[in-house]
Amino acid sequence: MNHVMVVDLGYGDAGKGTVVDWLCATRPVHTVIRFNGGAQAAHNVVLRDGRHHTFAQFGAGTFRPGVRTHLSRHVVVDPLALAAEADHLASVGVPDALDRLTVDGEALLATPYHRAANRARELARGADRHGSCGLGVGEAVAYGLAHPDSAPRVADCRAPALLRRRLAALRDRLTAELGPLDAPPVDDCLPAFTGFADRVAIVDRSHLAGVLRAGTCVFEGAQGVLLDEWHGFHPYTTWSTTTFANAEGLLAEAGLAGTAERLGVLRIATTRHGPGPLVTEDPTLPLTDPHNATNPWQGRFRFGHFDAVAHRYALAVAGGVDGLALTHLDLADRGLRICHRYDTTDRLDPGPPGDLDRQAALTARLLAARPVYDTAAPPADWPTAVEEELSTPVVLTSRSPTADGKGVRKGTLLTPFV
């Protein structure tokens, strides 16, 4: 029984959700485990009959009957957003999503105060915005680091008096720093959080070991490796570890290190939602994305040619993968090319985690870099071309957002499952 870890090797939006859904449709998956991020995730899944859901906190296998979701302690949990997501799932034929959910009590809570502070900071940056989703996930992480003993956590929802004190302290600290926040009073928030505790199974960290031994699990990452909090291009990053590290740590704690395959997801176009480096950006590309529109917080959804330099860097940062899932092959006739190198370098080397000055200097270099293309023609065979560029096998291809549009390449780690 091998588990699977799914990570995006770009800036996010490469198709992790549709890959996770395919995995859950082609094998008996017990649980999808979320191991980073929070409500800002947006993993789109489309079924053959046209039903669609953007998965944020629920695992992207939830359309498949019986597949459970576990939110690990590395997820920032937003109960208000979770309730709204459950309502939408019910409207598209999944009424039992909350019944199939477990949440680690140690996970941080995202609250209306975090969201309001997040938006206030982003607005204050003016033209220098970082591209935040405006949902308070990073704010919750920052507050948790600054106040680890009093930051609101999921388990607090079962103790209303404690939660009230922690929410009041949070509100007061953020108000003292930023001024009045656009958020409701504490007593108006409290019922939603206690109601969440009454409805959802809140567990301790030991629960996951049993889940991992009960059946095959899929670890579903959020955002992309190029947005990683330590290895992404600072400051245009997320407050989250987007590599396999959290998933590997959870497996090790359960005594199951080395029992999961590593699957990296890439589009044939390199994309980015919001500001920050995108060396291969090409506004003339005839591309749109119906599930990634411009929004007031992240900004514009941007398209570029396949950036082999950036994706080689992501592979190095992540410690390599067992195979790649290559998505959006239905766009192969849109003039997309492969950028083999930049005008200044053909290689980006990872640095030690935590050196944000180094990452900011790398960001400055990338903002000035220009792509170099060895040929004006797009690849005749995208999977083979990507394999050669990244020295990594492409094991799964995708030509549509549905599971039916996926294909396993013979002789790969996924072959036994089709």
Instruction: Just list the catalytic residues.
Output: 13, 43
| Whether 224 contacts 8, CB under 8 Å | yes
Helical segments of 76-185, H only: 79-91, 112-124, 137-146, 160-178
Decide: residue 329, CB within 10 A, 0-12 exposed, 13-18 middle, 19+ buried: middle
Q: Name 326's bridge partners.
A: 266, 397
In this structure, are strands 101-104 and 68-71 parallel, antiparallel, or unpaired?
Answer: parallel
The rounded distance, in Å, linking the Cα atoms of 361 and 286 is 32
The rounded distance, in Å, linking the Cα atoms of 368 and 309 is 15
The rounded distance, in Å, linking the Cα atoms of 296 and 294 is 7
**What order of strands is seen across the sheet that includes strand 68-71?**
201-203, 101-104, 68-71, 29-34, 216-220, 3-8, 260-267, 323-327, 394-398, 406-408
In this structure, are strands 394-398 and 406-408 parallel, antiparallel, or unpaired?
Answer: antiparallel
The rounded distance, in Å, linking the Cα atoms of 16 and 222 is 8
Helix orientation angle between 112-124 and 137-146, rounded to the nearest 10 degrees: 100
The rounded distance, in Å, linking the Cα atoms of 95 and 62 is 10
* Eight-state DSSP code of residue 162: H
Cα-Cα-Cα-Cα dihedral sign, residues 348, 350, 356, 357: negative
The rounded distance, in Å, linking the Cα atoms of 235 and 227 is 9
